[in-house]
Amino acid sequence: MKTQLLDYLSGHLTENRNALFDKVLKDRTRYLTVVLEDIYQSHNASAVLRSCDCFGIQDIHIIENRNKYTVNRDVALGSAKWLSLKKYNQNENNSQEALQKLKKQGYRIVATTPHSSDVELYDFDVTKGKTALVFGTELTGVSELVKQEADEFLRIPMYGFTESFNISVSAALVLQHLAHEIRKRNVNWQLSKQEMEDVKLQWIKASVKSSDLIEREYYNKYK
């Protein structure tokens, strides 16, 4: 049924738009995913979304403990509608819930922060399995809970006086390198056929005017 619905809705796209969706889908991945913990500056949050879209990362997990995640449209440039945003904001400490769900899905939790047992970005082994990259707040980084739950720690090498990068810069550097690495290695990084169909439906609904009415029209016609 979903495949037929997708075909029906795709008929409301231009030929070029449909071809672009299919092309981008081939480069989308869930092998890498991004976790943002308590980001409070909207321009940073939005810049990370933009980088995720540019480097083919489909899922972003947003943890809201003290700070509500907001998007600056001028920075994000519409990237949010092409991504699958999963928010965790129902509990006092939502980090635990997010990390547990990711571990159940087979992700190794990788905290992007200096640590005694950290690995430099260019030595990080992407072939060990699906990776959830956790980025923390602008001032204090990832929480102690994330450090306790992390399977690995990742550090970007730096050679100057400043102790850290801006979070949006950190995310862009990490994603650019790892997105390139997974395409070089023998890992199954692409979306499955079912996942591609699900994501394409999401994209069509986000970009076709009155897509909900068109969907109801389909079900009335073919149910």
Both 85 and 138 in one domain: the answer is yes
> Is the pLDDT at 9 greater than 90, yes or no?
no
User: Same domain for 106 and 74?
Assistant: yes
Neighbours of 23 (CB within 10 A): 9
| pLDDT reported for residue 74 | 55
Buried b (16+ CB within 10 A) or exposed e, 52-63: bbebbbbbbbbb
Tens digits of residue pLDDT in 163-195? 788 889 999 999 999 999 999 999 999 999 999
Binding residues for S-adenosyl-L-methionine: 112, 156
**pLDDT for the residue numbered 13:** 85
Q: What is the pLDDT of residue 72?
A: 56
Residue 87 lies in a domain: yes
User: Does 140 reside within a domain?
Assistant: yes
Q: What is the pLDDT of residues 41-85, one digit of tens each?
A: 778 888 899 999 999 999 999 998 877 766 656 555 578 889 999
Q: For the segment 33-48, what is each residue's pLDDT rounded down to a tens digit?
A: 999 988 877 788 888 9
Residue 211 CA to residue 183 CA, distance in Å, equals 34
**Does 181 share its domain with 75?**
yes
The Cα 186–Cα 125 span in angstroms is 12
Q: What's the mean pLDDT when you consider all of the chain?
A: 88
| Binding-site entries | 112, 156
- CATH number of 69's domain: 3.40.1280.10
The Cα–Cα gap between 99 and 82 comes to 23
Distances from the Cα of 47 to the Cαs of 1, 52, 75, 130, in angstroms? 37, 9, 6, 23
Q: What is the structure's pLDDT at 50?
A: 92
Q: Give the largest Cα separation in the chain, rounded.
A: 65
Tally: H helices and E strands in the chain: 9, 7
pLDDT for 49? 92
Is residue 118 domain-shared with residue 200, that is, in the same domain? no
For the cut 60, the answer to whether the pLDDT of residue 22 exceeds it is: yes
Structural domain harbouring 198: 192-223
- Considering the domain architecture, whether residues 130 and 93 belong to the same structural domain is answered as yes
Domain assignment present for residue 204? The answer is: yes
